[in-house]
Every structure is written in C-alpha cells, then in structure tokens.
C-alpha cells in the first residue's frame, strides 16, 4: 500500500472522512447536588444509562461535525454489550465496527453535580482494539483523520494510516510501543493522570496540546514553536463537564483532517468543548455543523 500523504495545512475539505479508534463503556448517570462523602447518602434528581466513554463520545461528536464517522472498537459478550452496539448504530448513527471479547462489557457510574463536574467510577477491564481483532483496518487508510483513545501498539500503527492522527495521552503506553509519529498528542494540564513525558516518545509528536479548561490551553511543536488559544464563550449556561475533553479532541482531529491549520482547528475544538459543557451528559448539546 502506498504511503498516505500527511499534514494538515491546506484547503478546507467539507467532506472530510473521520473516525475514532478506541473504547466504549456502558455508563449509569446520576444527577446529584454533590458527590457523596464517605458514609453519606445523596438522592439523584435524574438518572439514565447510555453508551459513552471517551471513544464513543468523540465518535458522536465527529459525526455531528462531518455528518458521518467510523468507530473502531471492542465490546464484551453480554447484554450490555448488545445494548451499547445498538445505541451507537441506531441512536448515535455511527458507522460501527466492533469486535467482541469473551468478557462482560465495561461499565461505569458517573455523578454529575451542581458544580458542573463529573466523578466517574469504572467497573471491569478496559476493552480497546488490538491489531489482531476482526476489524476492517484497511478502511482507516481512506480516513482524513482519526482520534485514538485506546488500543494496543498494532492498533496505533493501524490508526496511523489515516491522514491525521490525534491521540489522548491516556493511550501513552501503546503509543510509545508502536513507534509511530503522532500529529497531535492531547493532554490536560490540570489532570495529574495526564502528565506528558514527551521524552519517552520516539519519534516525538509533531505537536503536544495541553488543555487548561476555562483558561484555554497551550501547544508546543516538535520544532520548538509554541502557542496558546483562548477559551470561547459558552453558548449557554454550564450544565456538566462529562465528555468535554473528548469532544474537544474530536473537534481538533476533525478540523485538522478537513484541512484547517492548527490555530483554526483549536478554535473549533474549543467550541466543541464549550458546547458539550452546556448540555446534560455527553451528547446533550455537542456542536453540530451538519
């Protein structure tokens, strides 16, 4: 297969083809006044269940930007796995490619509090794609951009076939083992679990993007250039932060894959994160361009 030309400065392509390689979790959501302290009981004002997790959230945001999105993932072999597959295809309208693992679907419990924050407890093994999974990896070559939330080293290499590859730092171990060059590595500057050790990556990412929440963020290029972006005004009152980070990253990948330069793609990404903050749960108010 010929090498795919890479880069993300050029004419904007409104018909960009985009996708996500990563994970899905079945999440129980509860809206509460505050996260309970040890020994405390709180009552939920609202509750629901749906397929979520970073990979699913990003794929739905990409679909709302591009009109379509491909999602390469893994599910378990139980009833929750079937419900997740059905929701992602029927309700969220994704082009879903989901391998199966002989284990329960990973679940999670999320409190959404009056401070607009989310607190998450996950249950079960994290299910991420592997290169040997029965997935149509050849389709990735035709995608203009992929956002990676998880996978083994082989899956990272498969994702690199896309025109642009953006990844979360939470997949750092597989990225390091894969030896591929990322276009962008995204991390939170305020989350201790997302500290970036750029020196451990060979080759280093072309850009490292650090989000600072309401303060915007900053980026560093492999060539030594740096930059910042400002947070955009919220399009409404804040509701909860579940999915904001992955909606941001999805917007960034879509923007770069459609031909925007980094500054324009970051502005679009910031709009995606801001819109998500004003909706209930991950999908309540994601930015829609199509």
Question: What percentage of the chain has pLDDT greater than the value 90?
Answer: 89
Q: Is residue 84 part of a domain?
A: yes
DSSP collapsed to 3 states, the chain: CCCCCCCCCCCCCCCCCEEEECCCEEEEEEECCCCCCCCCCCCCCEEEEEEECHHHHHHHHHHHHHCCCEEEEEECCCHHHHHHHHHHHHHCCCEEEEEECCCCCCEEEEEECCCCCEEEEEECCCCCCCCCCCCCHHHHHHCCEEEECCCCHHHHHHHCCCCEEEEEHHHHHHHHHHCCCCCEEEEECCCHHHCCCHHHCCCCCCEEEEECHHHCEEEEECCCCEEEECCCCCCCCCCCCCCHHHHHHHHHHHHHHCCCCHHHHHHHHHHHHHHHHCCCCCCCCCCCCC
At 149-182, the pLDDT tens digits run: 999 999 999 999 999 999 999 999 999 999 999 9
Q: Residue 145: give the domain boundaries.
A: 18-22+53-103+125-277
- With cut-offs at 50, 70 and 90, classify the pLDDT of residue 257: very high
Mean pLDDT of the chain: 93
How far apart are alpha carbons 91 and 96 in whole angstroms?
Answer: 12
Q: Is residue 8 part of a domain?
A: no
Q: What are the two backbone dihedrals, phi and then psi, of residue 92, each rounded to the nearest 5 degrees?
A: -95, -5
Q: What's the confidence (pLDDT) of residue 278?
A: 98
CA distances, 225 to each of 221, 262, 290 (Å): 5, 12, 33
Q: Is residue 117 part of a domain?
A: no
Among 93-97, 183-187, 189-193, 200-204, the least confident range: 189-193
As given in the structure block, the two tokens for residue 211 are 């989000």
Q: What's the confidence (pLDDT) of residue 196?
A: 74
Q: Is residue 118 part of a domain?
A: no
pLDDT higher than threshold 50 for residue 203: yes
pLDDT higher than threshold 50 for residue 2: no
How far apart are alpha carbons 128 and 146 in whole angstroms?
Answer: 15
pLDDT higher than threshold 90 for residue 213: no
Q: Is residue 288 part of a domain?
A: no
Q: What are the two backbone dihedrals, phi and then psi, of residue 275, each rounded to the nearest 5 degrees?
A: -65, -45
Q: Does pTM surpass 0.85?
A: yes
pLDDT higher than threshold 60 for residue 7: no
More confidently predicted of 199 and 248: 248
Q: How many domains does the chain have?
A: 1
| Neighbouring residues of 6: CB distance < 8 A, sequence distance ≥ 6 | 163, 164, 183
Q: Is residue 98 part of a domain?
A: yes
How far apart are alpha carbons 250 and 256 in whole angstroms?
Answer: 10
Looking at the DSSP bridge assignments, the partners of residue 211 are 188, 217
At 38-61, the pLDDT tens digits run: 999 999 999 999 999 999 999 999
pLDDT higher than threshold 50 for residue 3: no
pLDDT higher than threshold 60 for residue 9: no
pLDDT higher than threshold 80 for residue 192: no
Q: At 96, which CATH number?
A: 3.40.1190.20
pLDDT higher than threshold 60 for residue 11: no
Exposure string for 91-129, b = 16+ CB within 10 A, e = fewer: ebebbbbbeebeebbbbbebbbbeeeebeeeeeeeebbb
Count how many residues are written for the chain: 290
At 75-132, the pLDDT tens digits run: 999 999 999 999 999 999 999 999 999 999 999 999 999 999 999 999 999 999 999 9
């Amino acid at each position: 297969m010929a090498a795919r030309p890479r880069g993300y400065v050029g004419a904007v392509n409104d018909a960009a083809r985009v996708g996500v390689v990563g994970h899905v979790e079945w999440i129980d959501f509860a809206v509460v006044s505050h996260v309970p302290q040890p020994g405390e009981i709180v009552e939920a004002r609202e509750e629901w269940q749906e397929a979520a997790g970073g990979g699913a959230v990003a794929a739905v945001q990409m679909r709302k930007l591009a009109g379509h999105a491909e999602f390469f993932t893994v599910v378990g072999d139980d009833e929750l796995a079937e419900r997740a597959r059905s929701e992602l295809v029927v309700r969220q309208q994704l082009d879903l490619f989901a391998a199966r693992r002989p284990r329960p679907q990973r679940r999670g419990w999320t409190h959404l509090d009056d401070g607009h924050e989310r607190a998450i407890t996950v249950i079960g093994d994290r299910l991420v794609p592997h290169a040997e999974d029965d997935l149509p990896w050849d389709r990735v070559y035709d995608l203009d951009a992929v956002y990676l939330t998880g996978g083994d080293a082989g899956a990272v290499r498969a994702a690199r076939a896309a025109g642009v590859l953006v990844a979360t730092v939470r997949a750092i171990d597989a990225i390091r083992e894969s030896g591929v060059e990322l276009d962008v590595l995204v991390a939170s500057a305020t989350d201790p679990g997302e500290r970036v050790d750029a020196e451990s990556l060979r080759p280093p990412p072309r850009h490292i993007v650090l989000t600072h929440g309401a303060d915007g963020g900053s980026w560093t290029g492999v060539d030594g250039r740096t930059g910042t972006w400002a947070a955009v005004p919220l399009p409404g009152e804040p509701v909860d932060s579940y999915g904001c980070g992955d909606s941001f990253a999805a917007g960034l990948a879509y923007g770069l894959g459609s031909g925007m330069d980094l500054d324009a793609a970051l502005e679009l990404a910031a709009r995606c994160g801001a819109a998500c903050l004003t909706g209930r749960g991950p999908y309540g108010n994601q930015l829609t361009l199509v």
